[in-house]
Every structure is written in C-alpha cells, then in structure tokens.
Structure 1
Amino acid sequence: MPTFLELQDDAALLSFEHQQHLSARVGEHSWKVNLAEHRFEFVGDTPLVCETVDLLGSAAPGPRTWLWSWANPFGYSSEVLGLALRAKEFGERHGIPELATAEVPFDALPGSPTEPAHVASLMVEATKAATGRWSGYQGPTGGGTRAGFLVGHPDLLLPEPDLAGTTRLLQQGVVELRLYDHRRAFHSYAVNRGLGVESAGSTLVLKGTGFEIAVEFTADNLMSRMSATRG
C-alpha cells in the first residue's frame, strides 16, 4: 500500500511533464472558474476553456488546514467533486489519512509546510497519483487561501514520448523536483507514461518506441547515471 509520501514520488515526473505542457499551451495567463457552470478558463494570448474541472479542495492560512471539497459546507455539485471523491476512496482503501480525512492540518503533512501554495501542491500531486489524472492547477482565491483543481482538455494531452524529450524531462526533474525515492519516481513515470520498464540489479531500463534509457541508482535509490540509445 502506498503512503502519502510515496504518492508524491509516483506523481512527480509525469505531473511535471504535464505542467510544462500546460504552461507551453496557455503561456502568460490569468484564470477564471465558475463551478456552478462547471467551467474553468485560461485567459490570455492563447485562451483555453477546459472541458472538465474538478475542485479538489483548498488550503487556508487561518486554520492552517487543507479542506477537501467533498467536506466543504458550501455544498458543491457532484460534477465537480468526482476526482476528490475518488481520491477519498483511494485513501480509505489504502489507509492514507491525508486523502480520507475531511480537514488535514498543515502540520500533518510531510515537512510540516507553512505556505498554502505548498500544501495545495502536495494534495494535488497525491490526487493525481491516486486518480491517474495529470493536468492540475492551483491558484489564489483570496485571503491567502489556495484552491487546487484538476482540469481536462484534448490540448493538454501529452504527445508520444521521444528520446530527447524524455531524457530532458528526467534530467530536469532530478535537478528541480524534490524526489524522495528516485528509483520509485522513475519507475512510476515509466508505467504511467506507457513506457516499457525492466529492472536489472541497480539499473532500470525505460523503453519507448525507438529508444531506451538506462538509469543506474545508488543503494539509497538516488540516480547516479543515465544513458540513452536509439533503436
């Protein structure tokens, strides 16, 4: 059974790739949401109206808690609660209290974060791994509170993986992301991205169409070396 911390590794690299893709698609932007109309919109030079939006919850600085949308007394419609409820069911099934508890204190999360944006990021990432939905967004809603969403649109789907893009993504992820277990993060990325993956001792081999990437890890599961070949 995965822990909340392991879900962070499971989501990290594929979520990072989706966020890069989303940023490239919408560019400089603002955003608007109307949950009563199930509408989430990126506004800017390249606007995008998402086909789906799910409200996951909100991180508030006053009570220093994350409140899941399904527990919010505002009473949102079932159309925008689906993925939050799926995360709740996942948490109940696997014994992950961060996903199954209505209101989660900041101090109950890894590292006891203090910033609502950090808390929202942790909860959105865990939900991505629990639900297999990867395009997310979190933003301010006033008073320092941050809300987390998962959104969907065909433009946000990733292209087929290739050697250059996958290698760059993996290298950048190791440098820029906080990965607790590199080997787990790489293996989860390969599985969720549809790549083949083989394990041989301290090495994982990720296989795509026309390429392979061999990644070596230390005894502590930290990446130590990566090499790529075509064909």
Structure 2
Amino acid sequence: MLNTPQSLTDILDDAAILSLEHQIHLSEVLGEHDWRVDLQNPVFEFTGERTLTCERFHLLGSAAPGPGSWMWAWANPSGFPAELTALSAKVRDLGHQYGIAELSSPEVPIDALPHASGDPVMAAAVLTEAAKVLTGTWTSYTGEAGGGTRVAFLIEHPAFLLPPPSPARTMRLLQQSLAELPLSDHRRALYSYATMRGFNPVFDARGRRLTLGAQGFGATVDFDDLHRVASINGTVPAGG
C-alpha cells in the first residue's frame, strides 16, 4: 500500500489492479464453468471445461436486496464453521484498527458503499475487493444464492497463483485498469500494484513521475495535479 488507508476508498484503490489481474487469470484457468458449494461440509468446486476443487475457501459474506444490506460472514446467525469465517473476522479486526466502519460493522447498507449503486452484486464485489488486500488472498468468486442475494468467497488453489509478469501482459493490464476500473486515486493504485507485484516503484522528488521495472520490463507513469495518469510509457522487449 502507498500508506495507511484512511477510508474504504483507499483500500479499494490499493486492491484494484492486482485483483483484476487475478480475476483475469481465474477466467483463463476455468473457461466456461459452473460451481457448487457446501458450507456445512466445506467443499467448493468448479465444474465445466475443467473440474477443480479448491484446496481452501473462505466465506466473506452476502449482499441481499430485501434488507438492502451486506452481512459479514462472522456476524451471520446461521453459524457457519469457524474456519470458513475466519478471514471475514480478520477483515473486521483490521476495520477496527483503521477506523473503517464498513469493514467492522456486522451489517452494512448497500447504499453506503462506493460504486455499489444499490446493487447487491456490486456491493459484494466492493467488499470482496477490500478483503483481498487486507488478507493477502487474491482470488475471489461471487455467485447467486437465490432471491437476488449475492454470496462472496475468497478461494485458494495452486492453479490460481499468478504466473510471473510479462511486459506485454503488464502493459495491457495497466491500460485496461485505467480504462475500466473506478479508481479514485491513480497514483495510489499504480504504486500499490507495482509494490505488490515486485516492480520496485520509485517516485521522483515531486511525486509526479513513477518509475517501475523488473524482469525485463520498465515503465514511467506521469501524473497530473489530481493524481490522475497523464501518460504511461513502457519498454516491452520483442517477444515480451
């Protein structure tokens, strides 16, 4: 992270680009797929082009249109196994530490969440993004649980680990992120991603240019006064 988060928006910026990279990779691994979960005898499995049973999975919570709220798994009265809700409790504890109510309150109104626009699907996505960067577990899955309720998981399997970054793929990812993600602070988001991905980011003395590079890839990113990306220039070797 660029620095200690002051808000949920900061955490979402920290998470955004690395999360997108993991979700792109997940889609490439699975192809066309379906899924099933058993929360009482914990099993999470993907079926379809490739059958894959997650080695571990974590229930984060659910967003429901009826009450118009998200409920964290640690607060759910259904009494799920503790090993399934432990990561949601870790998010709660960090929410208390950072003073971010959306992460520490048992139930959060969907309308109070950035980018959610009253949509349970988006609400689940927003809080799942935050949980990723706080727990270091980066692959997620959200699915329909009936009646418009969206349930969110963090999932683990060796196949979901990212391959080493390639220059061309990294440039495509950065361009896609800037075009599609609702980033509030480009400067924070780029720095956080580069740090977590091992690109050794360094700002110039004014904080207006970010230089990053590793494994044959180098880039400079220039920012305007509002921390928005003004230009990005990368060095991509042939075959990268």
Q: TM-score range by the shorter chain?
A: over 0.9
Q: Which moved more, 1:145-154 or 1:82-91?
A: 82-91
Matched, 1:104 2:104: no
- Measure how far apart 1:112 and its partner are: 5.9
Q: In the alignment, which of 95, 102, 125 is matched to residue 91 of structure 1?
A: 95
Ranges in structure 1 where 5+ consecutive residues have no aligned partner? none
Query: What CA deviation, in whole Å up to 9, does each residue of 1:187-210 have, x standing for no partner?
Result: 110111122111013111111112
Q: CA RMSD in A?
A: 1.2
**Structure 1 length-normalised TM:** 0.97
Q: Do structure 1's residue 143 and structure 2's residue 147 form an aligned pair?
A: yes
In the TM superposition, what is the alpha-carbon distance from 1:37 to its structure 2 partner? 2.4
3-state SS of paired residue (1:196): coil
The structure 1 residue matched to 2:47, chosen from 43, 46, 53, is 43
The equivalent of 1:118 in structure 2 is: 122
Q: What pairs up with 1:11-50 in 2 under 5 angstroms?
A: 11-50=15-54
The separation in 1 between residues aligned to 2:14 and 2:115, in whole angstroms, is 18
Aligned partners of 1:213 and 1:112: how far apart in 2? 33
Looking at secondary structure, tell me which structure has more strand per residue: 1
In the other structure, the counterpart of 2:72 is 68
Cα gap change, 1:165 to 1:112, in 2 (>3 Å): closer
Alignment match, 1:210:
216
Contact 1:162 1:208 survives alignment (8 Å) = no
CA contact (8 A) 1:5 1:110 kept: yes
1:8 to 12, 16, 38: 12
Q: How many residues align?
A: 231
Change (3 A) 1:175 1:230: closer
Give the conservation status (yes or no) of the 8 Å contact 1:66–1:105: yes
Q: Shift of residue 221 of structure 1?
A: 0.8
Change (3 A) 1:114 1:42: same
- Distance of 2:127 and 2:223 partners within structure 1: 28
What TM-score do the two structures reach when normalised by structure 2? 0.93
Deviations 1:159-215 (A, max 9, x none): 111211111100111111111111111011011112211101311111111221111
Paired residue for 1:175? 179
Give the match's secondary structure for 2:231: strand
How far apart in 2 are the matches of 1:198 and 1:4? 25
Query: Who is 1:55 aligned against?
Result: 59
Identical columns (%): 46
1:152 aligns with 2:156: yes
Shift of 1:82: 1.7
Greater than 6 Å deviation, 4+ residue runs: none
Structure 2 residue 227 is matched with structure 1 residue 221: yes
- The one-letter code sitting in structure 2 at the alignment partner of 1:73 is P
Task: Please report how far the alpha carbon of residue 111 of structure 1 lies from its aligned counterpart in structure 2 after TM superposition.
Answer: 4.9
Question: Deviations 1:19-56 (Å, cap 9, x if unpaired)?
Answer: 00000000111110112222111110112111111000
Moved more, 102-111 or 16-25: 102-111
| One-letter amino acid of the structure 1 residue matched with residue 216 of structure 2 | G
Q: Which amino acid in structure 2 is aligned with residue 67 of structure 1? A: M
